[in-house]
Structure 1
Amino acid sequence: MKSILAILTLLTLAIQANAYNLSPTSARRTFIKTSAATAAAIPLAVAFPLPSLAEVVVPEQITTDFPFPENWGLTFKYEEDAAKVREHMIIATGLGKGAPKMEAYGKNMKKEMVDFVSYYRRFPAVAGKPSFSTLYTSINVLAGHYTSYGFKYPLPEKRRKRLYQEYAEVEKSLKRNR
Structure 2
Amino acid sequence: MNYNMILAVIALVALNAEAYNMVPSARRAFLKTSAATAAAVPLAAAFPLPSLAEVVVPEQITTEFPFPEDWGLTFKYEEDAAKVREHMIIATGLGKGAPKMEAFGKNMKKEMVDFVSYYRRFPAVAGKPSFSTLYTSINVLAGHYTSYGFKYPLPEKRRKRLYQEYAEVEKSLKRNR
Q: What whole-Å deviation, never above 9, does each CA across 1:45-92 have from its counterpart, x for those lacking one?
A: 222111223332221222222222222222222222211111000011
CA drift at 1:39: 4.7
Which residue of structure 2 lines up, in the alignment, with residue 71 of structure 1?
70
Which residue of structure 2 lines up, in the alignment, with residue 137 of structure 1?
136
Q: Where do residues 1-178 of structure 1 align in structure 2 (5 Å cutoff)?
A: 13-14=11-12, 16-21=14-19, 23-178=22-177
Q: Which moved more, 1:29-38 or 1:92-101?
A: 29-38
Change in Cα spacing, 1:19 to 1:156, as seen in structure 2 (3 Å) is farther
Q: Pairwise CA RMSD of aligned residues?
A: 2.7
Q: In 2, Cα distance between the equivalents of 1:25 and 1:139?
A: 56
Q: What whole-Å deviation, never above 9, does each CA across 1:130-150 have from its counterpart, x for those lacking one?
A: 322221121112112222333
1:135 partner letter: L
Count matched residues: 174
Change in Cα spacing, 1:152 to 1:46, as seen in structure 2 (3 Å) is farther
Q: Which moved more, 1:75-84 or 1:28-37?
A: 28-37
Q: Which moved more, 1:12-21 or 1:166-175?
A: 12-21
1:102 partner letter: M
Q: In 2, Cα distance between the equivalents of 1:24 and 1:93?
A: 63
2:66 partner letter: P
Q: In 2, Cα distance between the equivalents of 1:177 and 1:23?
A: 55
Q: In 2, Cα distance between the equivalents of 1:30 and 1:63?
A: 66
Q: Which moved more, 1:80-89 or 1:30-39?
A: 30-39
Alignment gaps of 5+ in structure 1: none
Identity over aligned pairs, percent: 85
CA contact (8 A) 1:134 1:170 kept: yes
Q: In 1, Cα distance between the equivalents of 2:64 and 2:94?
A: 10
